[in-house]
């Protein structure tokens, strides 16, 4: 049997969240290992693909603190306005960066491009061992450590194990931690289109009888499309010709951005709310999609995971001051749960509520939805609260979310 190597923190899953956490810890005097199953270059890489996601303000601050925001400047696009509307109904709500007194409500990035920047930075982190591809075969928990065995015979022993291995977390399965799953019976159909009119940095969320349609601004005449529809319908639409697909999108959205042309590759994702039944196990905690995998209707999943990262990184930093006995201790794990629970609960309620309300199409409910959107536009405090959530600024903020680096 091979000898084991000791680490302070082992992160399983080097996707968007695991890689962000590893970089957040790069200046701490700790030994960190990051284990990723699928190489960045592989078409099967599940975290870094063609989907465009909206980054909130807290995520931006975190990327500023870990010094990758300037590298992202060429591949992101600001969102200066969000227009929420419902097909065929009266209601329309607006959120604007100007009203909120900020330069942008968020920024749009394709996860493959974000991933490239994160992955290229990993080798510069001197305290980090990045193992990829890595297949975890077993995890043993003892009083003072987690022992992780890999298929290649390597063994790692760590004070703290962080599961950042996504919605189907194998750490969760190996440790027999339960989960709750709600299948929305929908798929998110993702692509990008060229439009004849410039988007002027506006994002659109349009609720249709089929489900919500989000358009996110990319380069000047290019717009990302996230179309949430019934799973069976999505299957059919994946087979449609480009012309048919564009014509249907145009019919639903209208001509606010001129004509829709030149569609990109279409990809579809099953939509489920998956929550880990526990946020921690002995010496172990769950972050990002391994903790909560959300419906993408409000663009919150990654931003919520970055807030997990910011909170956890600060707790890990504390262990360098309080003594390493604190790292992975029950006291530290309980603190993580206490700090993260209400944000998780609020964002799950927000996205799950929106997902359920806006897929229902019954007369009275549909009518009150329209009124709801209109009322929302007339109620600045509620709008402001929503905008602050969308930007990732609600609640007390850990250092990274304020743009302050951990040293």
Ligand X SMILES: Cc1cc2nc3c(=O)[nH]c(=O)nc-3n(C[C@H](O)[C@H](O)[C@H](O)COP(=O)(O)OP(=O)(O)OC[C@H]3O[C@@H](n4cnc5c(N)ncnc54)[C@H](O)[C@@H]3O)c2cc1C
Residue 364 Cβ vs ligand X, minimum distance, rounded to whole Å = 30
Binding-site member from 11, 12, 104, 387 for ligand X (CB under 6 A): 12
Peptide bond between residue 122 and the one before it cis (omega within 30 degrees of 0): no
C-alpha angle 343/346/348, rounded to 5°? Answer: 105
Token digits for 40?
């960045």
How far, in Å, CA of 381 to CA of 232, rounded? 39
Q: Which is nearer to ligand X, 30 or 234 (CB)?
A: 234
Q: Which is nearer to ligand X, 51 or 275 (CB)?
A: 51
Binding-site member from 105, 164, 315, 359 for ligand X (CB under 6 A): 164
Q: Does 139 bind ligand X (CB under 6 A)?
A: no
Residue 356 Cβ vs ligand X, minimum distance, rounded to whole Å = 18
How far, in Å, CA of 40 to CA of 119, rounded? 8
Burial class (CB in 10 A: 0-12, 13-18, 19+), 231: middle
Q: Which is nearer to ligand X, 118 or 406 (CB)?
A: 118
How far, in Å, CA of 197 to CA of 222, rounded? 10
Alpha-carbon distances of 59 from 272, 348, 357, 402, rounded to whole Å: 23, 18, 27, 9
Binding mask 29-68 for ligand X (x = CB under 6 A): ------xxxx-------xx---x-xx--------------
Q: Which is nearer to ligand X, 18 or 329 (CB)?
A: 18
Q: Does 296 bind ligand X (CB under 6 A)?
A: yes
3-class secondary structure, 335: helix
> Contact at 8 Å (CB) between 210 and 316?
no
Taking contact as CB under 6 A, which single stretch among the options 122-130, 175-183, 288-296, 362-370 is the one that binds ligand X?
Answer: 288-296
3-class secondary structure, 386: helix
Q: Does 203 bind ligand X (CB under 6 A)?
A: no
Neighbours of 98 (CB within 10 A): 10
Contacts with 92 (C-beta within 8 Å, 6 or more apart), sequence order: 83, 84, 85, 373, 374, 377
Binding-site member from 91, 212, 217, 301 for ligand X (CB under 6 A): 301
Taking contact as CB under 6 A, which single stretch among the options 11-19, 230-238, 277-285, 345-353 is the one that binds ligand X?
Answer: 11-19
Residues 352-381 that bind ligand X (CB under 6 A): none
Q: How much is the CA Rg of the chain, to the nearest whole Å? A: 21
Residue 338 Cβ vs ligand X, minimum distance, rounded to whole Å = 21
* Nearest alpha-carbon partner for 104 in 84, 126, 78: 78
Neighbours of 206 (CB within 10 A): 19
Q: Which is nearer to ligand X, 166 or 217 (CB)?
A: 166
Residues 216-245 that bind ligand X (CB under 6 A): 226
Q: Does 159 bind ligand X (CB under 6 A)?
A: no
Residue 99 Cβ vs ligand X, minimum distance, rounded to whole Å = 21
Pairing relationship of beta strands 155-163 and 145-150 according to DSSP bridges:
antiparallel
Q: How many residues at the interface with ligand X, by CB under 6 A? A: 35
Residue 303 Cβ vs ligand X, minimum distance, rounded to whole Å = 4
Q: Does 264 bind ligand X (CB under 6 A)?
A: no
The helix or strand, by DSSP H or E, that contains position 315, with its residue range, turns out to be helix 301-322
Q: Using CB under 6 A, list all residues that contact ligand X.
A: 12-18, 35-38, 46-47, 51, 53-54, 134, 136, 164-166, 170, 188, 190, 226, 269, 288-289, 296, 299-303, 305
């Amino acid at each position: 049997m091979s000898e084991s190597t000791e680490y302070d923190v082992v992160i399983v899953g080097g996707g968007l969240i695991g890689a962000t956490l590893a970089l957040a810890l790069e200046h701490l005097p700790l030994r960190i290992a990051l284990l990723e199953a699928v190489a960045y270059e592989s078409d099967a890489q599940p975290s870094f693909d063609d989907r465009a996601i909206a980054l909130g303000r807290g995520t931006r601050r975190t990327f500023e603190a870990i010094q990758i925001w300037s590298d992202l400047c060429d591949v992101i696009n600001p969102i200066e306005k969000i227009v929420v509307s419902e097909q065929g109904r009266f209601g329309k709500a607006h959120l604007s960066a100007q009203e909120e007194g900020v330069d942008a409500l968020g920024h749009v990035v394709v996860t493959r491009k974000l991933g490239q920047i994160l992955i290229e930075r990993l080798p510069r982190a001197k305290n980090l061992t990045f193992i990829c591809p890595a297949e975890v075969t077993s995890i043993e928990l003892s009083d003072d450590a987690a022992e992780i065995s890999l298929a290649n015979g390597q063994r790692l022993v760590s004070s703290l194990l962080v599961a950042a291995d996504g919605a189907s977390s194998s750490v969760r399965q190996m440790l027999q931690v339960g989960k709750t799953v709600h299948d929305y019976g929908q798929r998110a159909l993702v692509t990008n289109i060229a439009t004849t009119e410039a988007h002027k940095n506006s994002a659109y969320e349009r609720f249709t009888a089929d489900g919500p349609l989000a358009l996110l601004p990319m380069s000047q005449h290019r717009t990302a499309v996230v179309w949430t529809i019934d799973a069976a319908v999505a299957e059919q639409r994946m087979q449609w010709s480009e012309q048919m697909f564009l014509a249907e999108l145009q019919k639903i959205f209208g001509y606010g951005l001129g004509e829709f042309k030149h569609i990109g590759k279409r990809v579809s994702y099953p939509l489920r709310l998956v929550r880990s039944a526990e946020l921690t196990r002995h010496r172990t905690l769950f972050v990002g999609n391994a903790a909560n995998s959300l419906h993408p209707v409000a663009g919150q999943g990654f931003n919520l995971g970055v807030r997990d990262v910011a909170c956890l990184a600060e707790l890990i930093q504390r262990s360098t001051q309080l003594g390493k006995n604190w790292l992975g201790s029950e006291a530290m794990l309980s603190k993580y749960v206490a700090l993260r629970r209400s944000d998780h609960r609020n964002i799950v309620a927000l996205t799950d509520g929106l997902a359920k309300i806006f897929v229902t199409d019954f007369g009275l409910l549909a009518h009150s939805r329209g009124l709801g959107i209109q009322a929302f536009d007339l109620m600045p405090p509620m709008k402001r609260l929503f905008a602050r959530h969308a930007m990732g600024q609600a609640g007390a903020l850990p250092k990274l979310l304020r743009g302050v680096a951990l040293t």
